[in-house]
Structure 1
Amino acid sequence: MTSASQTPAWWVYRGDGIPHNAIERLPDPPSWRPLQRGMPPQDGISSSPGPADTERGRVFQADRELVDVVNAALLLRRPLLLTGRPGTGKSTLAHAVAYELGLGPVLHWPVTSRTTLRDGLYEYDAIGRLHEANLQRAGMKAGTSDIGRYLQLGPLGTALLPRRRPRVLLIDELDKSDIDLPNDLLTVFEEGRFSIRELLRLPSDQQSVLVQTADGGQERVTDGQVSCWAFPFVVITSNEEREFPAAFARRCLRYDIEPPGPDRLAAIVAAHLGADAYEQARPLVEAFLGQRENGDVAVDQLLSAIHLARAGADEDPAQWQDLLWTVWRHLETGP
């Protein structure tokens, strides 16, 4: 990692895991990516990252090239499409950026083959609202039905709320999605806004509605429109199980995270387990690198082995080798 004295002046994210406030000097968006819609609103992040998320962000080790790409994505307001083998830290990068730049908890959107754009934007419980209305008509419940209680913004919808600072959105394993989802995302990524059609139908005296957010908070939506003031920092991960449409790929910055070499492995082990752990675990690290030549193994498998050895699991050499085979089973190997 570049030393502090050599940090390029244009970097906002440094990749050293030390929180700072450089996001305040993020330049204006490019002229072709304008979003200023009135005065910048106050940040209203409803919660802080939990201990697990904070730890993931703190210990992530980014190399110079990756930090360059992150800063380019921040300045250009473009999604960052990360590819690479499982276990190389693609998802963890989102937590590292959010932690270092103080952007609140990461909004996580895991994708499956059934995921649609609507899932990421918002969910409307029409059945629940109808049930409440029926109870009120039957005199079994007092009050009026508040549609906001049945609307919850998804991770993408929450990331697009108007904030002075960008939120961090992790779209995990987009390559598992239906073939249409990447193209469906294009308009939202370009415009930074979307409509909630259930709110568009409301009478004029009910145009301001308090809805639930994906991070446990509440936000007021007016006229059925959600428009961001700052483009979210979007990290999209892919295990390269499919190709993406050219129109989608063109709007992302793509970076392939390679498995860490010896130097980066040393930094990862020290960050997770302490500075003295690497010297004690050097034989295990060398064995891990040899194992990786024969198939895919992830960094957390190395960390697991070091943790077991420090607990004394390596006292019996024969049993230890059998246990290592279990812990280091190649990711493409079946049960």
Structure 2
Amino acid sequence: MVYVASEKRYEEMKYNRSGRSGLKLPAISLGLWHNFGGINVYENSREMITRSFDIGITHFDLANNYGPPAGSAEETFGQVLKQDLAAYRDEMIISTKAGYYMWPGPYGEWGSRKNLLSSLDQSLKRMKLDYVDIFYSHRFDPETPLEETMMALDYAVRSGKALYAGISSYSAEQTREAASILKQLGTPLTIHQPNYSMVNRWIEDGLQDVLEETGTGSIAFCPLAQGLLTSKYLNGVPEDSRAAGSSVFLSEDSITPESIRKAQALNEVASERGQSLAQLALAWALRGGKLTSALIGASRVSQIEENVAALNNLDFTQAELDRIDSILQADENK
């Protein structure tokens, strides 16, 4: 069946400018970290990607090592792009990253020019693209001069293999230095991708100030704390959940009685606002306009639709914010 995008795809989505750049991103973006790899059902991955586009999600976030196996999420996305979305390429923001382990030997990870540019070429081949819209340094490399890493991003942009440069999980000071180097090179730092959620607020301690100072946008990964801020764990750990298995990303030990109590209390706030807990968490992350976009994951279309519906209520009263802070800070001083 030939895919034709919905004519209403831009009617409900909100789009935010990334820092002081000309790039706008949807307030909710789709990440292909899990559930789009070679071990997953292709038709489900395809349906999630095309449905996302139909409801205004124009940004699809990947990395060289997403899968599993590593690289297969890019292959899946490339196949969907060729089969369904090729005609809409100029309406899409496609990003990828390099920096985590991808192949054996001294050049298969971290932030050297060799690793970043070789990985970018491999990613383009897997997705069958001439360029990506955003290319990220996936993590700071303490053993490679930051100038080398930033020069690789600058080259990726100047060569036409990427349109914008980004970094992920850099500290406030590392971000300030990276932005300064890129500015001198003539390629602005467009976006930073940090881990940020109600239960992981580290970017509020300096990084957000640096991003505002340097005119850099931000897109949060794990705004739902890998499911902790959803209804999935409100009553403990379901047997079929990721935390009940052997996943290295979310362990059963991380779901404590305290975290469940907090999630249940937050869920009460959400219910009073007419939202699910996931919708509350996304709205909270986007509060105040400091975050360009929240990056969601999904295993089925209904989750994507639920998450995008969070945009229907992004306003908080001060009483609601104070109540949320009180819940999150409970037990910290015991």
Give the TM-score normalised by the residue count of structure 1.
Answer: 0.31
Instruction: Determine which structure has greater relative contact order: mean sequence separation of CA pairs < 8 Å that are 6+ residues apart, divided by chain length.
Output: 1
Q: For the pair shown, which has the larger CA radius of gyration, 1 or 2?
A: 1
Give the TM-score normalised by the residue count of structure 2.
Answer: 0.31
